[in-house]
Chains A and B, each alone.
Chain A
Amino acid sequence: MSLPSILIQLLNGLASASSLFLVSAGLSLIFGVTRIVNFAHGSLYMLGLYGAYSLIEALGRTPLGFWSAVILAALVVGLVGVAIEVLVLRRIYRAPELFQLLATFAVVLVIKDVALFAWGPEDLVGPRAPGFGSVEILGKRIPAYDLLLIAIGPVVLGVMRLLLKRTRWGALVRAATQDREMVGALGVDQARLFTSVFFVGAVLAGLGGALQIPREPANLDLDLAVIADAFVVTVVGGLGSLGGAFLAAILIALAKAFCIGIGTVHLFGTEIVFSKLTLVVEFVIMGVVLVLRPYGLRGKKPATPRTSGEIAPALTSPRWQVAACWMVLFLVVPLLGDRYVVVLLTDIACFALFAASLHFIMGPAGMVSFGHAAYFGLGAYAAALLFKRAGLPMEAALLLAPFCAGLFAVVYGWFCVRLSGVYLAMLTLAFAQISWSIVFQWDSFTDGSNGIVGIWPSAWLSDKSVYYYMTLALCGIGIVFLWRVLFSPFGYVLRAGRDSPLRAEALGIDVRSFQWAAFVLAGMLAGLAGAAFAFSKGSISPSSVSIGQSTDGLVMVLLGGVETLTGPVVGAALFTWLRDELARDTQSWRAVLGLVILLIVLLFPQGLVGGLKALIGRWREARA
Chain B
Amino acid sequence: MLTRNHLFTGAAALVALSLGGPAGAQEPIKIGELNSYKVFSAFLEPYKKGWEMAVEEINASGGVLGRKIEIVSRDDNGNPGDAVRAAEELLSSQKVAFLIGTFPSNVGLAVADFAKQRKTLFIAAEPLTDKIVWEAGNAYTFRLRTSTYMQTAMLIADAVKLNKKRWAIVYPNYEYGQSATAAFKKLLSAKQPGVEFVTEQAPPLGKIDAGAVAQALADAKPEAIFSSLFGADLAKFVREGQQRGVFKGVEVFNLLAGEPEYLDPLKEEAPEGWYVTGYPWSEIKTPEHAKFLAAYQAKYKDYPRLGSVVGYSTVMSAVAAIKKTGSLDQYKLITAMSGLQHMTPFGNVTYRALDHQSTMGAYVGRIAVKDGKGYMKDWRFVDGKDALPSDEEVRKMRPAN
- A residues sitting closer than 8 Å to B (CB atoms) are 1-2, 5, 8-9, 12-13, 15-16, 116, 121-125, 128, 133-134, 140-143, 146, 214-217, 219-221, 225, 256-257, 260-261, 263-264, 273, 275-276, 278-279, 338-340, 343-344, 347, 440-441, 443, 448-451, 453-454, 456, 464, 533, 537-544, 548, 579-580, 583-584, 589-590
Instruction: Report yes or no: B209 in contact with A278, Cβ–Cβ below 8 A.
Output: yes
Residues of A within 8 A of B199 (CB): 263-264
Instruction: Report yes or no: A276 in contact with B85, Cβ–Cβ below 8 A.
Output: no
Q: A450-B106, A450-B131, A543-B80 are in contact. Are A140 and B215 (CB under 8 A)?
A: yes
Instruction: Report yes or no: A453 in contact with B109, Cβ–Cβ below 8 A.
Output: yes
What's the least CB distance linking B256 to chain A, in Å? 14
Instruction: Report yes or no: A450 in contact with B129, Cβ–Cβ below 8 A.
Output: yes
Rounded to whole angstroms, the CA-CA distance of A171 and B105 in the bound complex is: 53
Chain B 33-59, CB-CB to A under 8 Å as 1, else 0, gives 000001001101100000000000000
Residues of A within 8 A of B110 (CB): 451, 453, 537-539, 541
Instruction: Report yes or no: A580 in contact with B173, Cβ–Cβ below 8 A.
Output: no
Chain B 153-192, CB-CB to A under 8 Å as 1, else 0, gives 0000000000000000000011100100000000000000
Which of B232-240, B276-284, B337-345, B347-355 touches A?
B232-240
Chain B 63-91, CB-CB to A under 8 Å as 1, else 0, gives 00000000000110111111011101100
Instruction: Report yes or no: B219 in contact with A143, Cβ–Cβ below 8 A.
Output: no
Contact of B209 among A16, A340, A543 (CB under 8 A): A16
Which residues 173-231 of B sit at the A interface, judged by CB distance below 8 A? Answer: 173-175, 178, 199-204, 206-207, 209-213, 215-216, 218-220, 231
What's the least CB distance linking A55 to chain B, in Å? 18
Rounded to whole angstroms, the CA-CA distance of A380 and B150 in the bound complex is: 34
What's the least CB distance linking B156 to chain A, in Å? 23
What's the least CB distance linking A128 to chain B, in Å? 7
Instruction: Report yes or no: B216 in contact with A275, Cβ–Cβ below 8 A.
Output: yes
Query: Is B401 among interface residues, defined by CB-CB distance under 8 A?
Result: no
Residues of A within 8 A of B243 (CB): 128, 133-134, 141-143
Rounded to whole angstroms, the CA-CA distance of A590 and B85 in the bound complex is: 18
What residue in chain B is nearest A533 (Cβ atoms)?
B81
Contact of A343 among B88, B206, B213 (CB under 8 A): B88
Instruction: Report yes or no: B212 in contact with A539, Cβ–Cβ below 8 A.
Output: no
What's the least CB distance linking B1 to chain A, in Å? 35
Q: A340-B88, A543-B81, A590-B38 are in contact. Are A260 and B212 (CB under 8 A)?
A: yes
Contact of B42 among A121, A216, A441, A590 (CB under 8 A): A121
Query: Is B383 among interface residues, defined by CB-CB distance under 8 A?
Result: no
The SS class assigned to the B binding surface is helix
Instruction: Report yes or no: A275 in contact with B211, Cβ–Cβ below 8 A.
Output: no
Interface size, chain B (Cβ < 8 Å): 68
What residue in chain B is nearest A586 (Cβ atoms)?
B75
Contact of B207 among A9, A128, A225 (CB under 8 A): A225
What's the least CB distance linking A487 to chain B, in Å? 33
Residues of B within 8 A of A273 (CB): 200, 202
Rounded to whole angstroms, the CA-CA distance of A217 and B114 in the bound complex is: 37
Instruction: Report yes or no: A449 in contact with B175, Cβ–Cβ below 8 A.
Output: yes
Q: A143-B244, A590-B38 are in contact. Are A5 and B215 (CB under 8 A)?
A: yes
Query: Is B93 among interface residues, defined by CB-CB distance under 8 A?
Result: yes
Query: Is B26 among interface residues, defined by CB-CB distance under 8 A?
Result: no
Which of B4-12, B258-266, B385-393 touches A?
B258-266
Query: Is B245 among interface residues, defined by CB-CB distance under 8 A?
Result: yes
Query: Is B368 among interface residues, defined by CB-CB distance under 8 A?
Result: no
Instruction: Report yes or no: B174 in contact with A448, Cβ–Cβ below 8 A.
Output: yes
Instruction: Report yes or no: A219 in contact with B244, Cβ–Cβ below 8 A.
Output: no
Query: Is B126 among interface residues, defined by CB-CB distance under 8 A?
Result: no
Q: Besides A143-B243, A344-B85, 18 other CB < 8 A contacts? A: A12-B215, A122-B261, A123-B42, A125-B269, A143-B240, A217-B235, A221-B206, A256-B212, A263-B199, A264-B200, A275-B200, A276-B173, A276-B202, A441-B173, A449-B175, A456-B117, A543-B79, A584-B89
Rounded to whole angstroms, the CA-CA distance of A69 and B88 in the bound complex is: 48
Query: Is B61 among interface residues, defined by CB-CB distance under 8 A?
Result: no
What's the least CB distance linking A329 to chain B, in Å? 20
Residues of B within 8 A of A225 (CB): 206-207
Contact of B213 among A146, A260, A456, A548 (CB under 8 A): A260
Contact of B211 among A124, A142, A544 (CB under 8 A): A142
Q: A15-B211, A343-B88, A448-B175 are in contact. Are A261 and B200 (CB under 8 A)?
A: no
What residue in chain B is nearest A8 (Cβ atoms)?
B215
Q: A125-B266, A215-B239, A221-B206 are in contact. Are A583 and B212 (CB under 8 A)?
A: no
Query: Is B267 among interface residues, defined by CB-CB distance under 8 A?
Result: yes
Contact of B219 among A2, A121, A215 (CB under 8 A): A2
Instruction: Report yes or no: A123 in contact with B173, Cβ–Cβ below 8 A.
Output: no
Rounded to whole angstroms, the CA-CA distance of A483 and B211 in the bound complex is: 52
Residues of A within 8 A of B178 (CB): 443, 448-449
Instruction: Report yes or no: B267 in contact with A12, Cβ–Cβ below 8 A.
Output: no
Instruction: Report yes or no: B236 in contact with A449, Cβ–Cβ below 8 A.
Output: no
Residues of B within 8 A of A347 (CB): 81, 85
Instruction: Report yes or no: A12 in contact with B93, Cβ–Cβ below 8 A.
Output: no
What residue in chain A is nearest B136 (Cβ atoms)?
A453
Q: A123-B231, A537-B110, A539-B110 are in contact. Are A216 and B236 (CB under 8 A)?
A: yes
Residues of A within 8 A of B77 (CB): 579, 583
Instruction: Report yes or no: B244 in contact with A142, Cβ–Cβ below 8 A.
Output: yes
Residues of B within 8 A of A142 (CB): 211, 215, 243-244
Residues of B within 8 A of A543 (CB): 78-81, 106
Residues of B within 8 A of A122 (CB): 42, 261, 264-265
Instruction: Report yes or no: B200 in contact with A449, Cβ–Cβ below 8 A.
Output: no
Rounded to whole angstroms, the CA-CA distance of A339 and B91 in the bound complex is: 9
What's the least CB distance linking A110 to chain B, in Å? 13
Query: Is B92 among interface residues, defined by CB-CB distance under 8 A?
Result: yes
Residues of B within 8 A of A340 (CB): 88-89, 92-93
**10 sample A-B contacts, Cβ–Cβ < 8 Å, listed by A number:** A12-B215, A141-B245, A215-B239, A219-B232, A260-B215, A343-B85, A449-B105, A539-B114, A544-B81, A584-B89
Rounded to whole angstroms, the CA-CA distance of A140 and B265 in the bound complex is: 28
What's the least CB distance linking A275 to chain B, in Å? 5
Instruction: Report yes or no: A263 in contact with B106, Cβ–Cβ below 8 A.
Output: no
Residues of B within 8 A of A343 (CB): 85, 88-89, 92
What's the least CB distance linking A591 to chain B, in Å? 10
Rounded to whole angstroms, the CA-CA distance of A584 and B82 in the bound complex is: 11
A-B residue pairs, 5 tightest by C-beta = A121-B41, A339-B92, A449-B174, A539-B110, A453-B113
Q: A123-B265, A220-B41, A543-B106 are in contact. Are A16 and B211 (CB under 8 A)?
A: yes
Rounded to whole angstroms, the CA-CA distance of A203 and B81 in the bound complex is: 38
Residues of A within 8 A of B265 (CB): 122-125, 217
Instruction: Report yes or no: A538 in contact with B109, Cβ–Cβ below 8 A.
Output: no
Rounded to whole angstroms, the CA-CA distance of A443 and B129 in the bound complex is: 14
Rounded to whole angstroms, the CA-CA distance of A538 and B261 in the bound complex is: 33
Rounded to whole angstroms, the CA-CA distance of A340 and B32 in the bound complex is: 14
Rounded to whole angstroms, the CA-CA distance of A406 and B106 in the bound complex is: 27
Instruction: Report yes or no: A221 in contact with B114, Cβ–Cβ below 8 A.
Output: no
Residues of B within 8 A of A544 (CB): 81
Q: A273-B200, A533-B81, A543-B80 are in contact. Are A9 and B212 (CB under 8 A)?
A: yes
Rounded to whole angstroms, the CA-CA distance of A256 and B211 in the bound complex is: 11
Interface centre among B173, B178, B213 (most CB of A within 10 A): B173
What's the least CB distance linking B304 to chain A, in Å? 14
Instruction: Report yes or no: B267 in contact with A260, Cβ–Cβ below 8 A.
Output: no
What's the least CB distance linking B36 to chain A, in Å? 11
What's the least CB distance linking B112 to chain A, in Å? 8
Residues of A within 8 A of B42 (CB): 121-123, 219
Residues of A within 8 A of B267 (CB): 125
Q: A123-B235, A450-B105 are in contact. Are A275 and B219 (CB under 8 A)?
A: no
What's the least CB distance linking A17 to chain B, in Å? 11
What's the least CB distance linking B222 to chain A, in Å? 12
Rounded to whole angstroms, the CA-CA distance of A261 and B204 in the bound complex is: 15
Rounded to whole angstroms, the CA-CA distance of A540 and B202 in the bound complex is: 24
Q: A216-B236, A451-B106, A584-B74 are in contact. Are A261 and B114 (CB under 8 A)?
A: no
Residues of A within 8 A of B215 (CB): 5, 8-9, 12, 140, 142, 260-261
